[in-house]
Each structure stands twice: as structure tokens, then as C-alpha cells.
Amino acid sequence: MRENRTSRLRRRRYDDALASKAWRPMLSRISWSSLIAVTSLVAFTDVTKAATSLCATPEQTTEIREAYIRQPGAPPFVIGKMLGVPEETVITGLPPSQSVGTSDGQAFAKVWESLAGWDRPIVAIPLPNDNIVEFSGPIGTKVTSSNGEVQIETERSGLRGHFHPSSIAAIHAITLARNDGKMLHGVVFLGADGKSIISVYSLIGKKSEYVRLLSTDAYQRTRDLIASMPSDCPQADPRKK
């Protein structure tokens, strides 16, 4: 009987700790390479693009753009959850000037290398059960490929990890304007289910004109690179108009 009470007490203390905010600072001490490795087990499995197109229909496009009027600058996963559609559908429903994408997931290494000039990027990594973690700081842009795996390294502390391009079905560059005057630039790497595997964002605004221009130019180079690749949704692609 004593063992049962002890077990229940330990379990209650564990549940209380999870429910409190005290555990949250532990995220800052997580090895980001370990987190990426764990995430890869969940999300970076080989997948085949779903037969059903994830490109936004005209009706969905209308709903998505109306949602952005109500919540300007919201990341695609927020709008997607609100409307009950995948992130890729949200992204392809944006105006052509705000989104360009490619279906060439094997271009992951080239696109990731292009992030080298981004100023203070914010990395968003989804976890099961609609959880998400964010990391603001340097990211590795030294990329090497071997046996179908891409390894990201950095000479400083920061984000590094292992990625499998075969799990990436689409890559999109997006631009979102916020109410506070800032611009949110991002690159979203998506799986075959239309959900993001990892996203990199840069929030631009309230900086010196010089820094703002450098950040915008860095994003534009990444966007132009993606625009030079096979389109994800040709019917909505500005290059086709």
C-alpha cells in the first residue's frame, strides 16, 4: 500500500511540474543538435507527395486572404489551424507577390546555404500535438551532403543538425506585413502532408536603414533562388503570369 501511495505522489509531483512554467527555461539548455536529431525521427521519414493537391483552391484563397486581413503577419501554421487547412495550402493562397515555392525538396541544401546572410533568424520547429519550439540566434550554414543526408554545421554555437531532403516535398519563401510596420520574411520547408518540417523567419523593422536593406536583400536572394526552381503550384505562380 505504501508503494502505491509513493508512486501516486511521485506521479502527482511530475504532473504538477509539467503544468507549471518552471520547466520551460529548460528548453534554452537543450542541445539543438539533439533536438534536431529527435525531430528527425518524428518528421524526417521518407514520404511520397500526397495525390491530392495541397495548392489552395479559389475558394480557399479567398478565405485565407480574408483571414490575413483579420490577423496580418500571422505565421501560416496559425492561419492553417484557424481554417483547418495545411500550412502549404495557406502559403499558396497568399498573393503571388508574397509567396513563391518549389516542389524540388532536393534543393534543401542550396536554399539552406542561402540563409547565411539573414540577420538574427528565428527558427520554428513543430513537435507532436500542435506544440512548437522557436530558436532565435545563429544557424549553421556550412552544408555537406552524404548518402542522401544533409549535415548542417556551424563554427559557433547555434543551430546544427541532420536533414533528409527526401522528406521535403516543397519549399516556400513568404513575406507577411504586420500591423506594427514590421515585415516577416520566411522560408518554410514542408512535408508531403503540407505541414512544416522546419521554418526560418526574419523579422525586419525598427532597425537602421542600412541593416534593414541588408536583411531585405538577403531574403530577396533566397527568394530569387527558390523562384528559379520548378514551381510548386504552377497555376498560382507569378512566373506564369
From residue 213, give the alpha-carbon distance in Å to each of 129, 139, 188, 217.
38, 21, 22, 6
Of 152 and 57, more confident: 57
Per-residue pLDDT at 127: 85
Percent of the chain with pLDDT over 90: 39
The pLDDT confidence band at residue 211, using thresholds 50, 70 and 90, is low
Q: Which residue has the cell 495548392?
A: 55
**Which range has the worst mean pLDDT, 13-27, 107-121, 130-144, 176-190?**
13-27
Give the containing element (helix H, strand E) for 9.
helix 2-19
Q: Where are the alpha helices (DSSP H) in 20-165?
A: 32-43, 58-70, 76-83, 87-92, 108-113
What pLDDT was estimated at residue 110? 92
pLDDT score recorded for residue 162: 74
Delineate the domains of the chain, giving CATH numbers in brackets. 31-240 (3.40.1570.10)
Confidence of residue 23 (pLDDT cuts 50, 70, 90): very low
Note the pLDDT of residue 79.
Answer: 95
Note the pLDDT of residue 115. 87
In angstroms, how far is CA 184 from the centroid of its own chain? Answer: 12
Q: Looking at this protein, which amino acid is placed at residue 111?
A: V
Mean pLDDT is highest, among 11-20, 50-59, 84-93, for 84-93
pLDDT for position 140 = 76
**Is the model more confident about 78 or about 118?**
78
* Cβ contact 43:36 at 8 Å: no
In the structure grid, which three cell numbers stand for residue 142, read together? 556550412
Res 1: pLDDT: 44
Task: Tell me what the mean pLDDT of segment 127-155 comes to.
Answer: 79
Q: Per residue in 56-70, pLDDT tens?
A: 999 999 999 999 999
Q: What is the pTM of this model?
A: 0.74
Q: How far apart are CA 38 and CA 158, in angstroms?
A: 17
